[in-house]
């Protein structure tokens, strides 16, 4: 696995262009816009219920906004991408990810970006549910691979979910960005892993390899707090 001093937006440039792709968890469509700009998909599926959820394990997550705000976000996404929706490049699925999965055939998607509910169970369910929908050479990418203090307060369990999924299903953990809220890249295809690794080494300065991850290493997103504020950094 390569630890990459880069951002999730830049990672999009290393993915195959012109694919059929999906984003789980859309909110205002900010990252959907980045996907359109940097990965030029021929088809982008946006999946989000845009619904306030009354459940204790999601109560602290700042994405769980009020019903009124969810409606505003949904309408803003429809307006923001009206040209792409009319032209057929974007399909909007106002549904929970589990329900939306039925719309996709096995192997239909080239890659997916998972950024929906971040509890361990929900993040793991998204991985397991959508893995068969990605073609064999494709990629699973996702946000918020972090267990720093803030993330734990919001009940994020993406680190546990991704590690469990990778170990159980034999996926390769290809890359992790170094950010406050890191993005992970997975694939089950050895050639795709090798190609992506080579792209990253050639194009991202100062990558660091962590061998046998997550089999042999624990990831901790540590926080350093001082007069100048709080900084997070990855520790293995
Ligand atoms: C962190 S936000 C997404 C941010 C967006 N990906 C971005 O980077 O701009 C998480 C979103 O996931 C949505 N969400 C929550 N549970 C979901 C589920 N079960 N299926 C799909 N989306 C879900 C929320 O409504 C919220 O809009």
73-97, pLDDT tens digit by residue?
999 999 999 999 999 999 999 999 9
Quote the ligand 1 centre to 49 CA distance (angstroms).
8
Per-residue pLDDT band at 176 (split at 50, 70, 90): very high
pLDDT of residue 150: 94
Alpha carbon of 71 to those of 74, 76, 171: distances in Å? 5, 8, 37
Quote the ligand 1 centre to 204 CA distance (angstroms).
28
Residues within a 6 A CB radius of ligand 1: 23-27, 30-31, 47-50, 63, 96-97, 115-117, 122
Residue 108 forms part of a structural domain: yes
Quote the ligand 1 centre to 191 CA distance (angstroms).
31
Q: Among 4, 1, 50, which residue's Cα sits nearest to residue 27?
A: 50
Question: Can the peptide bond before residue 152 be classed as cis, meaning omega within 30 degrees of 0?
Answer: no
Structurally, the chain folds into a number of domains equal to 1
11 touches 175 (CB < 8 A)? yes
For the chain, what is the radius of gyration of the CA atoms? 17
Ligand 1 atom nearest to CA at 96: 20
pLDDT of residue 40: 96
Length of the chain: 236
Q: Among 127, 113, 146, 139, which residue's Cα sits nearest to residue 192?
A: 139
pLDDT above 90 covers a percentage of the chain that reads 99
Residue 236 forms part of a structural domain: no
Residue 61 forms part of a structural domain: yes
Give the whole-angstrom CA distance, residue 47 versus residue 62.
18
Which residue lies with its CA nearest to atom 6 of ligand 1? 26
- Going 37 to 136 to 198 to 212, the CA torsion angle's sign is positive
Which residue lies with its CA nearest to atom 11 of ligand 1? 25
Residue 233 forms part of a structural domain: no
Quote the ligand 1 centre to 125 CA distance (angstroms).
14
pLDDT of residue 2: 98
Q: Which two tokens stand for residue 123?
A: 């993040």
* φ, ψ (nearest 5 deg) of residue 77: -65, -40
The pLDDT tens digits of the residues spanning 185-205 come to 999 999 999 999 999 999 999
Ligand 1 atom nearest to CA at 8: 8
Q: Where residue 131 sits, what CATH number does that domain have?
A: 3.40.50.150
pLDDT of residue 202: 97
The pLDDT tens digits of the residues spanning 7-59 come to 999 999 999 999 999 999 999 999 999 999 999 999 999 999 999 999 999 99
What is the DSSP-derived secondary structure letter of residue 16? Answer: P
Centre a 10 Å sphere on the Cβ of residue 46 and count the other Cβ atoms it contains: 23
At 39 the three-state DSSP class reads helix
Quote the ligand 1 centre to 130 CA distance (angstroms).
15
Sequence-separated (6 or more) residues with CB below 8 Å from residue 141: 8, 11, 15, 111, 112, 113, 114, 183, 184, 185, 186
Quote the ligand 1 centre to 201 CA distance (angstroms).
31
Per-residue pLDDT band at 222 (split at 50, 70, 90): very high
Sequence-separated (6 or more) residues with CB below 8 Å from residue 136: 107, 188, 189
Q: Which two tokens stand for residue 61?
A: 């997550």
Residue 228 forms part of a structural domain: no
Ligand 1 atom nearest to CA at 28: 9
- Mutation to probe ligand 1, out of 7, 22, 27 (largest number of atoms < 8 A from CB): 27
- Identify the helix (H) or strand (E) that includes residue 44: strand 43-47
pLDDT of residue 199: 96
Residue 170 forms part of a structural domain: yes
Mean pLDDT over the full length of the chain: 97
Which residue segment(s) compose the domain that 6 sits in? 2-210
The pLDDT tens digits of the residues spanning 118-153 come to 999 999 999 999 999 999 999 999 999 999 999 999
Quote the ligand 1 centre to 98 CA distance (angstroms).
13
pLDDT of residue 185: 98
pLDDT of residue 49: 98
């Amino acid at each position: 696995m390569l630890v990459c001093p880069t951002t999730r937006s830049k990672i999009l440039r290393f993915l195959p262009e012109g694919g059929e792709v999906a984003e789980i968890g859309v909110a205002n469509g900010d990252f959907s816009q980045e996907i359109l700009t940097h990965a030029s998909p021929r088809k982008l599926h946006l999946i989000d219920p845009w619904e306030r959820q009354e459940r204790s394990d999601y109560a602290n997550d700042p994405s769980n906004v009020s019903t009124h705000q969810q409606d505003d976000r949904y309408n803003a996404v429809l307006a923001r991408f009206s040209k792409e929706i009319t032209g057929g490049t974007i399909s909007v699925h106002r549904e929970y990810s589990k329900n939306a999965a039925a719309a996709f055939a096995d192997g239909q998607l080239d890659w997916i970006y998972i950024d929906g509910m971040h509890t361990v169970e929900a993040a793991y369910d998204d991985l397991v549910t959508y893995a068969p929908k990605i073609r064999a050479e494709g990629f699973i990418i996702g946000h918020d691979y972090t267990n720093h203090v803030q993330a734990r307060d919001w009940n994020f369990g993406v680190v546990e979910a991704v590690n469990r999924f990778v170990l159980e299903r034999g996926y390769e953990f290809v890359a992790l960005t170094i950010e406050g809220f890191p993005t992970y890249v997975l694939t089950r295809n050895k050639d795709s892993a090798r190609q992506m690794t080579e792209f990253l080494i050639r194009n991202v300065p100062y990558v660091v390899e962590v061998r046998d991850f997550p089999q042999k290493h624990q990831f901790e997103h540590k926080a350093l707090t001082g007069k100048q504020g709080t900084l997070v950094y990855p520790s293995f």
